[in-house]
Amino acid sequence: MTELLQKVRVIDPVSKIDELFDVLIADGYIQEVASHITDISPDASIRDCRGLVIGPGLVDLYSHSGEPGFEERETLLSLLQSATAGGFTRISILPNTSPAIDNPALVAQLQKKRGETRGQGDKGTGGQGDNFSPLSSPLPLLHIWGAITLDVAGKQMTELADLASAGVVGFSDGEPLENLALVRRVLEYVQPLGKPVAFWPSDRQLSANGVMREGVDALRFGLPPIPASAETSAIAALLELVAAIGTPVHIMRVSTSRSVELIASAKAAGLPITASTTWMHLLLDTKAIKSYNTSLHLDPPLGNSSDVAALRAGVRAGVIDAIAIDHTPYSYEEKVQAFAEAPPGAIGLELALPLLWQYLVETEEFTALELWRALSTSPAECLGQKVSAILPHQPAELTLFDPQQIWKVERKSLYTLSQNTPWLGQQIKGHVVQTWC
């Protein structure tokens, strides 16, 4: 199939381009990018794309799959569908499923399951009706994080070399690893394997039974606080190990201003680290929790306003390399509890790009290139991957986005099986039109 996209806004962080072009796509490749394309085949599909944006396909560093073990929250198919609907062409799932992804057999099982989803794009429930059909877009590439420890319990190391041979994208428990002797041994073992290793630094003893960031709002809302030092002390310890051993490390779920300072200093000193924050930590602060909406119970918790400002500045400056979605589905019954009792986490694959664009790009706090870089090329680099430039003869791995289309977040408009989002029932602006993968 040949498609001509006319007058589309091309945002390419690889080439650092943000301009209007015609883009010709055929047989899975970009054939031509020019100000005006006229030489096309008679059977080509022509689309007027004025007002639309096209960029490299979005890449999610880490999210949660309900399958295996919690299919009522999310199946692998619904996860892939929601990723496609959100503009993602690559998604990486964390290993804390049930059973945990801590052995090559389960990696192979999930890879086989991914193969079985081909051609099933529009067979799930939900969906955005006439606005979007996953049938028109291929489902994203699936990458799998292999567990660092057996059953992600933080005690006994997995057979990392076997998992690497099975094709995992890297190693992470997706849970805090507080045994520093084990962390040190992991850094030594993974060094020759050439795979990324990601840690979530968090001191659970300092966190205790807290559910929101320590500060004035925690006192006002009467919720148990978590001090920023629960994160920063763990980051400082991890950085010391990286300095001693030299193994490259990715730091997940950065959420405090002091963490940004520590990471900036470590990068300036030449430590081989990358870092990510999650999309909701860039948009909301502790004041939002006045609603006691359990979808705002996150781990790490939403930061104070100074944390949000530092995280945004960190992403723009490249201190925080990437924005992760950390899509965490839960059933309705699991989330309908008191705020402190509900499990932490929220969905986000279908919402992140529209809301980040609406509140960061349209307000001119971020440029379109800065946001797209943090959602596409930079996450890929954190995974040791590359994203192609939007140039002739390059593979067409692309996302077409309408920043002005308004839609309502409700059950029938989502592909994900879960509804745990604070934006449920609200109208938001921005919608993915199509992906190529």
Residues marked active site are found at 326
- Amino acid in position 168: V
Report the C-alpha gap between 334 and 297 in whole angstroms. 12
Burial annotation 195-216 (CB, 10 A radius, 16+ → b, else e): bbbbbbbbbeebbeebbbbbbe
Q: Is the separation of the CB atoms in 138 and 121 below 8 Å? A: yes
Task: Give which of 292, 303, 334, 324 is closest to 419, Cα–Cα.
Answer: 334
Beta carbons of 271 and 241 less than 8 angstroms apart: no
Contact 80/117 with Cβ under 8 angstroms? yes
Q: How far apart are CA 184 and CA 198, in angstroms?
A: 13
Cα angle, residue 292 at apex, residues 291 and 298 outer, rounded to 5°: 120
- Geometric angle at alpha carbon 161, from 156 and 162, rounded to 5°: 90
State the residue for tokens 């030299």: 246
Distance in angstroms between the alpha carbons of the first and the last residue of the chain: 14
Q: Letter for the amino acid at 10? A: V
Burial of residue 32 (CB within 10 Å: 0-12, 13-18, 19+) is middle
